[in-house]
Structure 1
Amino acid sequence: MRTLILCGLGLALAACGTRAPLTPPEDASLPVAPYGTNEKPTSEELLQLDALAAPERSVELRRRSEDRADDPFDLPPE
């Protein structure tokens, strides 16, 4: 019974996604303009990640098996 309630609660929370664009609350405003600029960034610009926050994946797939180079730090336990 408890797991059924937890699953129902999880589904209810998952269904509470945003359905409208994000806007600041009535009494609040967006952050001040960054130093050196006159224009405040929009909410969409604030949500975009820069390259350091979300780097591209660099996955090099191996096409054939290769022998490993000798590792001087791969020592047996003492």
Structure 2
Amino acid sequence: MMRIALTLAAMLALTACGARAPLEPAAGSSLPPAAHGTQESADVEQLLELPALAAPERSVELRRRSEEREDDPFDLPPE
């Protein structure tokens, strides 16, 4: 029973470690310089955004029926 209480207390303490303030550069450092061809540098929120290629949307295309597979020239048996 004591082990469960200690585990719950540790989990509660870990959840309290989350960031509550917006992210800012560490003291004595600054954000990266502006990209070539832009006038102003990106802020923290823009730097944290993932480009579409890094997190593409998932295609959930379902198959309605079985389809024959095309011949794959690279599907070779082991030597």
TM-score range (shorter-chain normalised) is 0.5 to 0.7
Aligned-pair CA distance for 1:51: 0.7
Q: Structure 1: 5+ residue runs without aligned partners?
A: none
Aligned to 2:34: 33
Q: Aligned partners of 1:70, 1:43: CA distance in 2, in Å?
A: 47
Amino acid at match of 2:37: G
Q: Aligned partners of 2:45, 2:12: CA distance in 1, in Å?
A: 27
Q: Aligned partners of 2:29, 2:70: CA distance in 1, in Å?
A: 60
**Cα shift readout 1:28-66 (whole Å, capped 9, x = no counterpart):** 110000011120100000000111111111121123x41
**1:67–1:37 distance in 2 versus 1, CA, 3 Å:** closer
Q: After superposition, where does 1:1-78 map in structure 2 within 5 Å?
A: 12-63=13-64, 65-69=65-69, 71=71, 73=75
Matched length: 75
Q: Aligned partners of 1:20, 1:67: CA distance in 2, in Å?
A: 53
| TM-score normalised by L of structure 1 | 0.66
Q: Structure 2: 5+ residue runs without aligned partners?
A: none
% of aligned pairs identical? Answer: 51
Amino acid at match of 2:69: A
Provide the alpha-carbon RMSD of the alignment.
3.1
Runs of 4+ in 1 over 4 A off after TM superposition: 3-11
